[in-house]
Amino acid sequence: MKRTRSIAGRGAYWGIAVIVITLLFATACKKYDDTNLNSPSLSGLLENATVAELNNLVTGTEAQLRANMGFYIDAVGIVGREHYRFSNSDPRYLTDLLGAGSTVLDPNGFYITNPWEARYRCIRNAYILIGSADNSAFVTQAERRGYHAFARTLIAYQLLLNLNLTDANGVRIDVADPDALGPLVPRAQALAAIMDLLDDARNDLVDPSTEFAFPLSAGFAGFDDPAGFLRFNRALAARVAVYREQWSAVPDLLAASFMDLNGDLHNGAYMSYSALTSDQLNDLFYPPNASGEVRLAHPSYAMDIEAGDDRINKAPLRNDTLTQADLSSDRDVAVYTSNIDPVPIITNEELVLIKAEADIQLMNTGDAISALDAIRTAHGVSPYAGGTTEQELLDELLKQRRYSLFFQGHRWIDLRRCGRLGELPIDRPDDNVWVRFPIPFAE
Amino acid sequence: MSAFPAASFAQLQVTGVVMDGSTGERIPGVSVLMVQDPTIGILGVATDIDGHFTLELPGGTGRLRFSYFGYKDLLVIVADSNATDMNVRLEVDVARLDEMVVTGIVTNVRRRNLANSVATISAKELMGTTSPQTFDGALSGKVIGATITSNSGAPGGGIAVKMRGVTTFYGNSQPLYVVDGVFMDNSAIVPGLNAVTDAQAGGNPVQDNMSNRIADLDPADIESVEVLKGATAAAIYGSRAAAGVVVITTKKGMGTGGTQVHVSQDIGFARAQRLLGVREWNAQRVEDTYGTSAVSLFNEAQAAGRITDYEKEVYGETALLLGTRVSARGGNERTQFYLGGGRLNEDGIVKHTGYKRYDVRANVRHQVNERVSLGFTSYFVNSDADRGLTNNDNTGVTYGISLAFTPSFIQLQPDGGNYPNNPFASSNVLQTRELVKNNELTYRTMNGLTLKALLQNSERSTTRLVGRGGFDFYSLRTRAYFPNALQFQSNGAGTNGASIQGRASNLSMNMYGALVNEYTFGANNLLTSSLGATYELGKLDHMRVTATQLIGTQTNVDQAGATSVTQDRQDFRNSGFLVQEELDLGGRYVINAGVRLDRSTLAGDITRYFAYPKASLAWNIARMPFWNNGAIEGLKLRAAYGQSGNLPPYYAKYTLFSSANTSGLPGSLIDVTRGNADIVPERQTELEGGIDLSYKGRFTAEVTVYNKVCYDLLLLARMPPSSGFTFEYVNGGELANRGVEIGLGAIPVTGEQLRWETKVAWWTNTSEVRKLSTPAFTPNGSFGNSLGTFFVEEGRSATQIVGVTGNVLEDGTPEIGVLGDAMPDFQMSFWNEVTIRRNLALRVFVHWKQGGDNINLTEFLTDLGGTSPDFDEDANGNGVADGIDRLSDAGAQHFVQDASYVRVRELGLYYTFPDKARGKVLKGMRVGVSLNNCFTFTKYKSYDPEVSNFGINGINTGVEVAPYPSSKRAFLHIAVDL
């Protein structure tokens, strides 16, 4: 059959077609928005962050200080024979960490990878804060210095904690650009770089115009403005100077910190915890007399303590004695009394002990003894009556550090830097004391 | 060619009846079209239930084309002489050469001219034998080339479909579903049970056993399903087609012959396909397993006759299945409609579980005038599934895990209303079954509109406009309730009750428009050109509140001491263009070439268009002039090439921040997974070739080989942790799948007394990971080498399972080796229909999967709990109980078990009452009985070889951890036509 008729109104249909097709093509060519609906995205924050967004980064960085501190304290505390960790889910606390038999520390082990990753995640967040503050048009130069000083101080602190784990194996210092990571840097060089970061931050903080446009948590009460934060920064610097054995630098650093020989020893900067949304609970707390997952004080803690020392309360007697893998203890670790207790970053007690150590090294024996006595009397022990040779005083200092800073991750590091790891007790014949952790495999 | 004349001058009334050429069975629903109509079948009707039709032909004569699925088309010239009481006999076409198959979004081609293998499943094959609960269940085993695995037996569906092997590791692994042109979302919305089960503790993905939302489709509404398995067929769907496309067409109205009303009722029962049994206890075994203190418990229980088979107690219910449907189809020359409504109410084989679905559908087509027609499809469904608490956990609370640790001499029955605590496990499974609620409730609507217009029509050229669009919207509520009376939620255990409620609303919208020109040249050559544009969007908003420390027996999330909230929003837009040319040279050569250009907000660069080309050639040798073998009606060689894509997930391109607060201050903390702003869609290239043969319309054979390569695979690359990140999304893998698909069909016997139609399909697929830019990795969802795990490794099958072999290497470390592969060696299906004297029909569908391993951890759990039924046997004769043997075996080999099976999926016997038995009101009546999944032959040692603890996620189908047991179902069917 052949087509014979033309149909009226054909033009109208073509008109409709043109409209429909044009609409579709227009839709198909439309410009789209490219933002994520669920959370801020990196590219967005780096572009032109508002003050509120920068402050979110500050809080996020501060919040991350707490991540995996349970693993960190367990790692250095168990190796340093401060406590045992009994666990039904993981035997490696009592094998790998105590060097049982032929076991070695695993570069994929949770005890190194978890804290290492958490610290560098905090550092990444701090670098993002720096980059965002630099690119933000909403902040003044004075406020920008505030963000810088905060970020660099925390970066230094986080690097120091990782270096505490790996020591001579080093850490990666230059990590500002995730796509161009610097080399692993040995200990001395790393400590110098950490000190440089702290000093950079100090230079910003001492500028009288510098402002903190951000709030900090309750744990930083008294340290949440440039002047206060400077005292915190110098306190960390004093710890680093001790690690570097730059004794003559210590007095000035302490003077610029919040050290107070007669002040409250608990004064200091803390990590705070709460049960609020997206907050964290203190993972160093276990209820007393628990079973299954427990932390127990190393038996030597009670054996070596002087009579009357109130620091025995950090390791109270349990109702029962627990035994696992030929290890037993009848004392809980009870440094914290609830799952929202704050955890110290650095306190006046440590600063007084730093003063004592520097005084010993600088031969200011009298000052050293009065600093030690400030600690002893605060804990209900009579003033120091022992010998006054450098060796004797150092013995006393390390003992006070052991009890004052118990379960804060110091003993192993102190003994290591003093070359005294051999003094640590060995519980089982085939156990070993590790000197350092391996660099995580994924590095 | 000719146009339909606007004004009619002479009318010719045509009446007749259409029947099966061999059996004389009348065929309802046959399409009767006037051939002159060049466009869209302005003039057409369908036969009624008795095969009758009535049609007014404008003009005194005309040609009518009779076509029906499964029969050859028949062309009849009608004039006054034969216009009344026509007797039209259609010949069965087992090769379905005349069936229309989609080749583009707006174009179809007859199967005889098709250059790809496209699997088509008719309504009869889908739902004609028995009544599977959901559409996904109805599809099982019926798609040649696909591996379809139901995740568990939990009411409400949940199924993983893999077309021609694994196509992705971290991207979307499920096909795109298109229902009457509307893209149907197939997400699985997470109910958040993990807050109680802690199943994800080891860093594993979700194991909440939720259904995927394709289950919302009522399979009874479906007219046909076409499955585009790979890129050769699916290229025109562009960047969402890499996992295949399932094109679903629902039932439509009929022209004349009055309105037909169809009412059906199914009544059935379901029971567990298989129970494993429990261990027989004696005092010695109790002492060996639980210590001396438990012996008195056992003695007491035995003395009191209180030995209980708790597996049977929990999984042993007989469930009642009820299904009712009413549908009507009718219309006139200008308007046709299909209306359908269904109610399904099925209990589960565990008390307090079950599935309900209520749905209505209206499909209307209206011819506005001779040039323009409008079609409208509308569907509303309410589904309500109580799915129970099953699958893996780390708190010992799901039915299966609790049962594994519950010996039969323990007393769990309630004393009054109080359930005793289970002394050997952290939960009392009877209490859990009674008190825990895990519900998915969906309200969903899908609506689509089709506009067709004839723009231009001349002797050699016809131009049409086709516009189609629609939306699919659902609101889903998940509700999991764990009251604080539960053993695992009281006295310091758990969180003192948990109420986990989620609300998800999801909108998918898509539309496309195209101009299609058909140009005839030469004697019998046709060039079809299409040019179109597409637009798609998706918006998901999912909020979930986890309330713990519940107040009393309250379930509201504000009646709680603590709550946590999550929200996930996703939004994407895709748009693109398509061009396609199809050249049909006298039916001898058919050449098709096209390209789709797509861009998406999910890609790194949202302005970039990705091109997905395709080309194919079909050579109908039997139509060549030199061919003179009349018996071989069809002999075709075909080859096709195509590309398609798989869009990255919503998160891949952005580096995001979690909220990390302290002291009530809001904080942002960088995520450990780094996004990649340069991410591109995964791309698939497929080359396919085949040969089709049909002999005398009674025998057909189709053989296809393919080679499918997926590259730019989305991977998670490890980063040095000092960067602050642990993983980064990259495009960096290449994966090949090769396979063979063979389909045979035959009608060995045909006649009035007996007719037998049979179909056999065989298919196989092998895969190889060709390249990885990252080190070999364990994909999401694994329980490690000691229990057997999937492991993606260059040069190996994508679905290999590795684990510790039990040997120790020289350096003292355990040897890791390949233990199995989840990919079946081959699959076969057998479909048979025997019709006796036109009234009695027997249909049987059998599915055979040969090879393919599962990781069976259910047995591991019962061994650990000391409750395996064969714990005390000694199959290897070493004097040690098999349970102990398995527990002390350092290797993972015994978890990796052959999951081959032969399953009689469907068996149905139907009797259609003969014409003379019909009354005036009752036009037809059919009764039948059927069985669904009633017979399974397998050596696999658990409930069902079809299982997936990780759901539709990625490649790890076949990991089993305490699933909801699958059921077998028996039905009585009654259907009447009014």
Residues 6+ apart with CB under 8 A from B743: B144, B700, B701, B702, B703, B759, B760, B761, B762
B744: left (phi over 0), alpha (psi -120 to 50) or beta: beta
Q: Closest chain A residue to B38 measured between Cα atoms?
A: A3
What is the average per-residue pLDDT within A22-40? 74
For residue B379, list its beta bridge partners.
Answer: B361, B446
Q: Helix, strand, coil: what percent of chain B each, to 5?
A: 10, 50, 40
Are residues B8 and B57 in contact, defined by beta-carbon separation less than 8 angstroms?
no
Question: How many beta-carbon contacts under 8 Å exist across A and B?
Answer: 227
Q: Is the CB of A25 less than 8 angstroms away from the CB of B533?
A: yes
Q: Closest chain A residue to B571 measured between Cα atoms?
A: A37
What is the average per-residue pLDDT within B598-608? 91
Q: Is the CB of B669 less than 8 angstroms away from the CB of A34?
A: no
Q: How far apart are CA A271 and CA B372, in angstroms?
A: 72
What is the average per-residue pLDDT within B247-255? 86
> Nearest-CA distance from B84 to chain A in Å?
24
Measure Cα distances from B899 to A366, A400, B156, B893 in Å. 81, 65, 24, 14
Q: How far apart are CA B129 and CA B94, in angstroms?
A: 19
Average pLDDT over chain B, rounded to an integer: 89
What is the average per-residue pLDDT within B265-294? 92
What is the average per-residue pLDDT within A178-188? 94
Count of CB atoms situated within 10 Å of the CB of A92: 17
Are residues B59 and B7 in contact, defined by beta-carbon separation less than 8 angstroms?
no
Are residues A436 and A169 in contact, defined by beta-carbon separation less than 8 angstroms?
yes
Q: What is the pLDDT of residue B36?
A: 59
Please determine, for residue A10, whether its predicted confidence score (pLDDT) is greater than 80: no
B152, two tokens: 């568990």
Q: pLDDT tier at B954 (50, 70, 90 boundaries)?
A: low
Q: How far apart are CA A13 and CA B820, in angstroms?
A: 62
Burial class (CB within 10 angstroms; exposed 0-12, middle 13-18, buried 19+) of B528: buried
Chain-centroid distance of CA A339 in Å reads 18
Q: How far apart are CA B359 and CA A402, in angstroms?
A: 72
HSE-CB at B708 with a 13 A cutoff on CA atoms is 34
Q: What is the pLDDT of residue A147?
A: 97
pLDDT tens across B421-455, in order?
988 888 999 999 999 999 999 999 999 999 998 88
Chain-centroid distance of CA B158 in Å reads 8
pLDDT tens across B347-392, in order?
999 999 999 999 999 999 998 888 889 999 999 999 999 999 999 8
Order of all β-strands in the sheet with B800-808:
B789-790, B800-808, B814-821
DSSP annotation string for B815-842: EEEEEEESS-SEEEEEEEEEEETTTEEE
**Residue with more model confidence, B6 or B106:** B106
A167, two tokens: 């020591």
Are residues B695 and B641 in contact, defined by beta-carbon separation less than 8 angstroms?
no
Q: What ipTM score was computed for the predicted complex, to two decimals?
A: 0.91
Q: Give CA angle at B675 (B672, B680), nearest 5°.
A: 150
Q: What's the per-residue H, E or C state across B460-518? A: CEEEEEEEEEEEEEEEEEEEEEECCCCHHHCCCCCCCCEEEEEEEEEEEEEEEEEEEEE
Residues in A closer than 8 angstroms to B562, CB to CB, are 275
pLDDT tens across B466-512, in order?
999 999 999 999 999 999 999 988 877 778 899 999 999 999 999 99
CB nearest to B1's CB, from A3, A28, A271: A3
Q: Is the CB of B654 less than 8 angstroms away from the CB of A42?
A: yes
> What 3-state class would DSSP assign to B653?
coil
Q: What is the pLDDT of residue A7?
A: 43
Determine which of A41, A66, A90 to mutate to test the interface with B (most B C-beta atoms within 10 Å).
A41
Are residues A270 and A343 in contact, defined by beta-carbon separation less than 8 angstroms?
yes
Q: Give CA angle at B823 (B819, B826), nearest 5°.
A: 120
For residue B896, list its beta bridge partners.
Answer: B855
Measure Cα distances from B28 to B670, B923, B924 in Å. 64, 12, 11
> Nearest-CA distance from B227 to chain A in Å?
27
Q: Is the CB of A116 less than 8 angstroms away from the CB of B721?
A: yes
Task: Name the nearest CA neighbour of A397 among A424, A370, A426.
Answer: A370
Please determine, for residue B4, whether its predicted confidence score (pLDDT) is greater than 60: no
Residues in A closer than 8 angstroms to B656, CB to CB, are 36, 38-42
Residues in A closer than 8 angstroms to B36, CB to CB, are 1
> What 3-state class would DSSP assign to B535?
strand
Q: Give CA angle at A35 (A33, A38), nearest 5°.
A: 135
Q: pLDDT tier at A6 (50, 70, 90 boundaries)?
A: very low
Q: Is the CB of A2 less than 8 angstroms away from the CB of B465?
A: no
What is the average per-residue pLDDT within B678-694? 94
pTM to 2 decimal places: 0.88
Q: What is the pLDDT of residue B919?
A: 67
Please determine, for residue B631, whether its predicted confidence score (pLDDT) is greater than 90: no
Q: Closest chain B residue to A180 measured between Cα atoms?
A: B723
Chain-centroid distance of CA B204 in Å reads 24
Residue type, B697: G
What is the average per-residue pLDDT within B521-538? 90
What is the average per-residue pLDDT within B640-665? 91
Residue type, A148: H
Are residues B600 and B574 in contact, defined by beta-carbon separation less than 8 angstroms?
yes
Q: What is the pLDDT of residue B255?
A: 67
Which segment of A234-238, A361-365, B68-72, B75-79 scores lowest on mean pLDDT?
A: B68-72
What is the average per-residue pLDDT within B565-575? 91
pLDDT tens across B172-195, in order?
889 999 999 999 999 889 999 988
Q: Is the CB of B533 less than 8 angstroms away from the CB of A41?
A: no
Q: What's the per-residue H, E or C state across B126-166? A: HHCCCCCCCHHHHHCCCCCCEEEEECCCCCCCCEEEEECCC
A193, two tokens: 């770089």
HSE-CB at B622 with a 13 A cutoff on CA atoms is 19
Task: Name the nearest CA neighbour of A392 among A356, A424, A354.
Answer: A356
b (16+ CB within 10 A) / e for B343-372: ebebbbbbbebbbbbebbbbbbbebeebbb
Q: Is the CB of A124 less than 8 angstroms away from the CB of B6?
A: no
Please determine, for residue B5, whether its predicted confidence score (pLDDT) is greater than 70: no
pLDDT tens across A341-364, in order?
999 999 999 999 999 999 999 999
> Nearest-CA distance from A114 to chain B in Å?
10
Q: Is the CB of A16 less than 8 angstroms away from the CB of B577?
A: no
Task: Name the nearest CA neighbour of B649 among A260, A283, A38.
Answer: A38
B24: left (phi over 0), alpha (psi -120 to 50) or beta: left
Q: What is the pLDDT of residue B628?
A: 85
At B194, which helix (H) or strand (E)?
Answer: helix B194-197
pLDDT tens across A387-416, in order?
999 999 999 999 999 999 999 999 999 999
Q: Is the CB of A29 less than 8 angstroms away from the CB of B457?
A: no
Are residues B115 and B129 in contact, defined by beta-carbon separation less than 8 angstroms?
no
Alpha helices in A2-96 (DSSP H): 10-28, 42-48, 51-64, 69-79
Q: Is the CB of B3 less than 8 angstroms away from the CB of A7?
A: yes
Q: Is the CB of A117 less than 8 angstroms away from the CB of B672?
A: yes
CB nearest to B663's CB, from A17, A124, A218: A218
What is the average per-residue pLDDT within B41-48? 66
Please determine, for residue B1, whether its predicted confidence score (pLDDT) is greater than 60: no
Determine which of B198, B723, B813 to mutate to test the interface with A (most A C-beta atoms within 10 Å).
B723
Please determine, for residue B892, whether its predicted confidence score (pLDDT) is greater than 90: no
Question: Which single residue is written with the structure tokens 């059935």?
Answer: B268
Please determine, for residue A5, whether its predicted confidence score (pLDDT) is greater than 60: no
Q: pLDDT tier at B2 (50, 70, 90 boundaries)?
A: very low
Are residues B185 and B538 in contact, defined by beta-carbon separation less than 8 angstroms?
yes
Are residues B754 and B839 in contact, defined by beta-carbon separation less than 8 angstroms?
no
pLDDT tens across B202-227, in order?
667 888 888 889 999 999 999 889 99
Q: How far apart are CA B730 and CA B317, in angstroms?
A: 49
Q: What is the pLDDT of residue B3?
A: 37
**Residue with more model confidence, B977 or A333:** A333
Residues 6+ apart with CB under 8 A from B427: B396, B397, B402, B486, B487, B488
Task: Name the nearest CA neighbour of B113 among B466, B462, B524, B696.
Answer: B524
At A254, which helix (H) or strand (E)?
Answer: helix A250-256
Q: What is the pLDDT of residue B256?
A: 63
B790, two tokens: 């999937």
> What 3-state class would DSSP assign to A355?
helix
Q: Is the CB of B569 less than 8 angstroms away from the CB of A37?
A: yes
What is the average per-residue pLDDT within B89-112? 76
Q: Is the CB of A42 less than 8 angstroms away from the CB of B670?
A: yes
Q: What is the pLDDT of residue A323?
A: 86
Q: How far apart are CA B151 and CA B591, in angstroms?
A: 41
Q: Closest chain A residue to B532 measured between Cα atoms?
A: A21
> What 3-state class would DSSP assign to A27?
helix
Please determine, for residue A89, whether its predicted confidence score (pLDDT) is greater than 70: no
Please determine, for residue B55, whether its predicted confidence score (pLDDT) is greater than 70: yes
At B725, which helix (H) or strand (E)?
Answer: none
Percent with pLDDT over 90 in chain B: 54
Which segment of B12-21, B503-512, B687-696, B957-966 scores lowest on mean pLDDT?
A: B12-21
Q: Closest chain A residue to B563 measured between Cα atoms?
A: A277
| Pairing assessment for the beta strands B853-856 and B959-960 based on DSSP bridges | parallel
Residues in B closer than 8 angstroms to A217, CB to CB, are 662-663, 665
Q: Is the CB of B657 less than 8 angstroms away from the CB of A272?
A: no
Q: What is the pLDDT of residue B868?
A: 93
Residues in B closer than 8 angstroms to A278, CB to CB, are 658-661, 667
Are residues B428 and B348 in contact, defined by beta-carbon separation less than 8 angstroms?
no
Q: Which one-letter DSSP state was computed for residue B190?
A: -
Q: What is the pLDDT of residue B334?
A: 84
Residue type, A207: D
pLDDT tens across A132-177, in order?
999 999 999 999 999 999 999 999 999 999 999 999 999 999 999 9
Q: What is the pLDDT of residue A11?
A: 64
Task: Name the nearest CA neighbour of B125 among B573, B761, B713, B699.
Answer: B761
